[in-house]
Structure 1
Amino acid sequence: MNGFEHMTFNDKVNLYRQFDEARHADLENFAQEYHSMKLRLAELEADLDDERKNRRSWRQQAESLKQSVGRNRFAVVLIDGDGYHFCRSYYMNTSESGGAQAAHALYTDIQQYIRANNPNLDSDIEVMVILYFNKQVPARALVDADVIQRMSQLDEFFWSFTSSRSLFQVVDCGPGKERADSKLRDTYRFYLNNAQCEHIFLACCHDNGYVAELDKYRHDPAATDKTVLIRHGNTANQFYNLNLPFARFNSTFEMEPLQAIRRIDTTPTYMPSTRRIPSADDSASQNSNDANTPATTWSTITASASRLPDRTRPTTTTNLSASAETFEPTQTTTRISSTATGDPKSGIPVNRTGQRIDRTSRAPTKPEIDRFQDRIADQKLCNTHHLTSTGCFAYKCNYDHDPIDAAMKHTLKYKARSIPCTVGSKCRKAECFYGHQCPWGMERCTNGKCPFYKNDLHDIQDLEIAKFVPAVA
């Protein structure tokens, strides 16, 4: 203060002015801050109201979704029908009721399992069943085991099965093992992530190919809590290491593998019947993409009775030769000239005049023939699929594409030689499986209407292979 008293009047005026300016600046700052805080407070109040509204909306949606999930919970059963068969009593019952009884038994087994292992679920939980298969596989197995008499009975069975419950479906995936497998895997992944799906029952334990897919979810709690494996009579050992629960539905599925029953052929056996040469009239059309070869399968021909008389048919069967134990009499024998040129592995054998010659092959044995006839009893084999490297590309081919072993393939190839190639002796097709000369030879053939006459393939005399010419694709 003492210093202030000694200040001049001007100095005091300047000091008061500075003080007033500083106070005014502070008031301005306070006013701006107050205004900003007021705006911020209004925004926060608006945000709080929005959050309050959103929270109410989300709570309502969550409650609605929870109620919806609770109302529409279901269990799905995925069945690989190529390996799982229903109890034979259902198939052997009338077609109208057998399928419905199997559906009811499966539905009951599922409901009982759910009530026993998850009592918190409603007792009326929906059950969806999807069965994937190649219809020809179980149909043939059931016919061979004498469970059903004809393959069409399986259609009638599943019509009854699906019509009895609206959520029961049967899907024919067509030929090929992996088709049904891949559909079942993809469907499993789809329902695994479905919140309304409470349980997934998998009927696939006959095939350890599913183990790799299920192993991906070994440590996934959602998958292990939801997935249940249905036991099979031949459950692969790898399934027991997946840490997944098992269910056994003995009243629904057959636990023992179906055993094929040998059907006795009552057709009289006599030597000329094995010597019969199929006529052109015996041939049946087949879907084929080859316009230059007959659209015929030997399976079709062997299933037809000859409509041509055999002029040399004897009335006795005594003194049968060894060839009578095979599917066909010994066919003509070809030989390779010591001076033959070309590549025997990839070339086409021709004689000196350029006529194609079929090389001699081993005649099938009686057991091989019996197996062959059993295989084609219900569906004929597709020549193009089994005897060529490219396979059959026909749309909806009606012939059998399922795998065959080497003996079956040899028998099919041997018999295909009894169908004349329409191209004739000029054929140079690498994998042509048709015949290029009469298998019985011009001296021994007694069929006046032999189909090999038509394409000038009957009276080929020179059966010595002079060279191997390049083949065409």
Structure 2
Amino acid sequence: MSPAPSLPSNMTEPNASTSLWARFEQLAAVDAARNDLISEVLHRYDYLSEQHKKECEDHDREREYNRNFQRIKKDLENKIRQMQLFMERDPFVIVLIDGDGMIFQDELLKAAELGGKKAAAHLQALLSEYIQIYMPSIPSDVKIVARIYANVKGLADVCVRAGVVDDVTQVEDFVRGFTRGRTLFDFVDVGSGKDRADEKLIETFKLYIHDVRCRQIFFGCSHDNGYARLLEELSTDHLYLERVTLLEGVPFEKELAVLPFNTKKFDIIFRDSKINVFGTLNGFPAPFPPRSRSMAQLGLVTPQNMIQQQTRTPSVSTVASVENISTLHASQQPTWATKAAAAPPLAASPSPTYKASSRDDNPATISRNRVGQRVDPPVRNYDKEEVNRVKNIKMCNVHFLRRECPFGDNCTHVHRYNPTHTEIATLRLVARMAPCQNGSACEDVKCIYGHRCPAPEAKPSIKGGKNCIFGDKCKFPVELHALDTNVVKTTVIRG
């Protein structure tokens, strides 16, 4: 055993103790610092371990979510793909036509069943061409469906009375031919009854407007303001504006003309004027129907033809006119036509008759050109603002220009007004802007309607066709444009 080390000779007992304590305190401080460091490391480790655990849990949860999402995403993509295939399968456009007012051309009706087949073929060909040019987003192989609703018997009677066809069977055969002409074309006979065609047409329209496979609806209703209620609800939505095209037969009624939908006219198929039946009965002038119904309901060109309705405007159809005309010849049981009168019931009185404008000692004359066409007297120059102002007054053309309005106090236009000479001249121009049902052959000396288009000619001039400023939208047929106005003879009309 080695001897204990000896203390320095110069270190006394008190000094040695102080030095040791100092050294101990130094070591204790170092140990405390080490312990603090180790404690801090342990606390940080515990925190990080907890965070790591949470991150692992979150990661596992996200990974599970991602797996579920990928699975759901794949399922949804498959469903979307299947739905797209379904939506793109058998796309179609549908043509909905009110056949009571949108009438086919006379030559087609006269051709009976063959005419019906030709009408179906023309309609499909023209629609296919129109879709290909103006609707490139619609597949070229799109199917075309057509539904025409009409009172076939009433329509046939009208056509016979107007001389369009010789027998009602021609119209019935035409309907049959149209239906047989194309597999997806149907001409549906709704029978007699107020607004039957309208109701079916409106409900069918509602059925297809939201059908994703229906790419376009061609809606033929230009003759009836009643359809404006349905279309106005859709006119503020751009989606619907792109899905509906209005077909024009006769010129659009006022409430339809202002709607922002696209329009198309197939004048090779449909008439652009209403069938005239009143001009052939009892010698009564064409513009005047019997008092029992409103002029707008009878589907004829009338003084402005703008009777305001508080309820839905009744259907303006040629079918309504024939059922009413029959009351001129025989007493019948009340029908839907007689019950749908717009004016209040009137006391029994003879139907209004035409009063000659001159006596035998002062016969009136009608000017005609070298080919016998009627030449209207000059009217004031067309002033759009003045015409619109006078129209807004809603003066009764018949009262102020013929002095014989058959509706009297029941007339829906203004009688109690004191127009100036200038306003009368403008009113005469306004009346002339409605084509006469008898055309240039009219022999009514007091007729206030136009026998040639009074609108200014288009500039630059258009050769052939409708050469006025209104172009194809003009209410006057082509044959009443650019008439020779040189008077070479007159026809004497004695009262």
TM-score by length of 2: 0.49
2:227 to 202, 210, 218: 210
Q: Percent identity?
A: 21
Partner of 1:79: 97
Task: Quote the offset at 1:205 in angstroms.
Answer: 0.7
Task: Quote the offset at 1:90 in angstroms.
Answer: 1.9
Q: Given residue 181 of structure 2, which amino acid in structure 1 is its aligned partner?
A: S
Q: How does 1:311-460 map to 2 (within 5 A)?
A: 372=326, 381-383=332-334, 410=348
The reply to whether residue 111 of structure 1 matches residue 111 of structure 2 is no
Q: Given residue 114 of structure 1, which amino acid in structure 2 is its aligned partner?
A: I
Deviations 1:94-153 (A, max 9, x none): 43x222111111111211211221234333211111112233432332222233344454
Task: Quote the offset at 1:220 in angstroms.
Answer: 1.3
Task: Quote the offset at 1:6 in angstroms.
Answer: 5.2
Q: How does 1:185-334 map to 2 (within 5 A)?
A: 185-260=202-277, 262=280
Distance 1:50 1:29, change over 3 A: same
Partner of 1:173: 190
Partner of 2:73: 55
Partner of 2:435: none
Q: Distance in 1 between matches of 2:165 and 2:60?
A: 81
Paired positions, count:
288
Distance 1:220 1:77, change over 3 A: same
Query: Which runs of 5 or more structure 2 residues have no equivalent in the other structure?
Result: 1-20, 283-323, 351-495
Q: Given residue 197 of structure 1, which amino acid in structure 2 is its aligned partner?
A: C
Q: Distance in 1 between matches of 2:169 and 2:78?
A: 54
Distance 1:401 1:239, change over 3 A: closer
Q: Distance in 2 between matches of 1:137 and 1:406?
A: 24
Partner of 1:159: 176
Q: Distance in 1 between matches of 2:174 and 2:346?
A: 31
Partner of 2:60: 42
Distance 1:243 1:373, change over 3 A: closer
Distance 1:164 1:409, change over 3 A: farther
Partner of 2:320: none
Deviations 1:305-353 (A, max 9, x none): xxxxxxxxxxxxxxxxxxxxxxxxxxxxxxxxxxxxxxxxxxxxxxxxx
Is contact 1:87-1:251 (8 Å) kept?
Answer: yes
Q: Distance in 2 between matches of 1:196 and 1:134?
A: 30
Secondary structure of 1:195's match?
coil
Q: Given residue 183 of structure 1, which amino acid in structure 2 is its aligned partner?
A: K
Deviations 1:238-260 (A, max 9, x none): 32321222211112112222122
Deviations 1:398-456 (A, max 9, x none): x98665989999499xxxxxxxxxxxxxxxxxxxxxxxxxxxxxxxxxxxxxxxxxxxx
How big is the alpha-carbon RMSD for the aligned residues of Structure 1 and Structure 2?
A: 4.0
Partner of 1:147: 164
Q: Given residue 274 of structure 2, which amino acid in structure 1 is its aligned partner?
A: P
Q: Distance in 2 between matches of 1:21 and 1:66?
A: 65
Q: Given residue 54 of structure 1, which amino acid in structure 2 is its aligned partner?
A: I
Distance 1:148 1:5, change over 3 A: farther
Task: Quote the offset at 1:156 in angstroms.
Answer: 3.0
1:122 to 134, 139, 159: 139
Task: Quote the offset at 1:25 in angstroms.
Answer: 6.8
Query: Which runs of 5 or more structure 1 residues have no equivalent in the other structure?
Result: 265-369, 387-398, 413-473
Is contact 2:112-2:170 (8 Å) kept?
Answer: no
Distance 1:372 1:131, change over 3 A: closer
Q: Distance in 1 between matches of 2:345 and 2:83?
A: 61
Q: Distance in 2 between matches of 1:405 and 1:199?
A: 38
Deviations 1:159-185 (A, max 9, x none): 221222222123333444333223322
Q: Distance in 2 between matches of 1:76 and 1:93?
A: 25
Larger radius of gyration: 2
Task: Quote the offset at 1:207 in angstroms.
Answer: 0.8
Q: Return 187-196 or 403-412, whichever deviates more.
A: 403-412
Partner of 2:442: none
Secondary structure of 2:187's match?
strand
Q: Distance in 2 between matches of 1:136 and 1:102?
A: 19
Distance 1:6 1:231, change over 3 A: same
Distance 1:409 1:153, change over 3 A: farther
Is contact 2:156-2:172 (8 Å) kept?
Answer: no
Q: Distance in 1 between matches of 2:327 and 2:23?
A: 132
Is contact 1:131-1:171 (8 Å) kept?
Answer: yes
Distance 1:241 1:405, change over 3 A: closer
Q: Given residue 154 of structure 1, which amino acid in structure 2 is its aligned partner?
A: V
Deviations 1:370-413 (A, max 9, x none): 9546666xxx8334x58xxxxxxxxxxxx98665989999499x
TM-score by length of 1: 0.51
2:149 to 117, 132, 136: 132
Distance 1:114 1:371, change over 3 A: closer
Q: Distance in 2 between matches of 1:28 and 1:406?
A: 96
Secondary structure of 2:195's match?
helix
Task: Quote the offset at 1:74 in angstroms.
Answer: 1.6
Is contact 1:78-1:129 (8 Å) kept?
Answer: yes
Q: Distance in 1 between matches of 2:90 and 2:347?
A: 52
Q: Distance in 1 between matches of 2:209 and 2:235?
A: 13
Partner of 2:381: none
